[in-house]
Amino acid sequence: MEQDSEQGGVRRVDEAGAVEESAQGAAAEDDAPAQPARFDYGRVLRVAAVALLAAAAALIYLGYNGAAFFVAGLGASAWFLNVRATLIRKHDLVKVGGRNWRPRREVERESEEEEGRGED
């Protein structure tokens, strides 16, 4: 009997060489679909927003009010894009049509149903 460190389950091997795994680790793997790692745009935009707002504060201190307003606008835009990217990633949304966003599971389920209807 061996402890499987990756899944947390127990793997048993009998004399014939057949492998039997406990359901502890295998069930957890089957529940979550494999998704490729995606770049986290939200974190980059959050850092940019903080940097731009700090630069705007410095520009106000130095007396460049026009430039400070412009840089603060860029910082606010970066913050809103950060929120948008975070929501898209958190809820696993995909763009459907011009302005519509829907969960990836619903879109995949509907496309599978349409393929099933097309074969009949």
- Indicate the number of domains in the chain: 2
Q: Could you read off the pLDDT of 64-113 as tens digits, one per residue?
A: 999 999 999 999 999 998 898 888 888 888 888 777 888 888 888 888 88
- One domain for residues 25 and 51: no
Which domain, by its residues, includes 6?
2-30
- One domain for residues 82 and 115: yes
Burial 93-102 (b: 16+ CB within 10 A, else e): beeeeeeeee
Mean per-residue pLDDT over the chain, rounded: 76
- One domain for residues 21 and 54: no
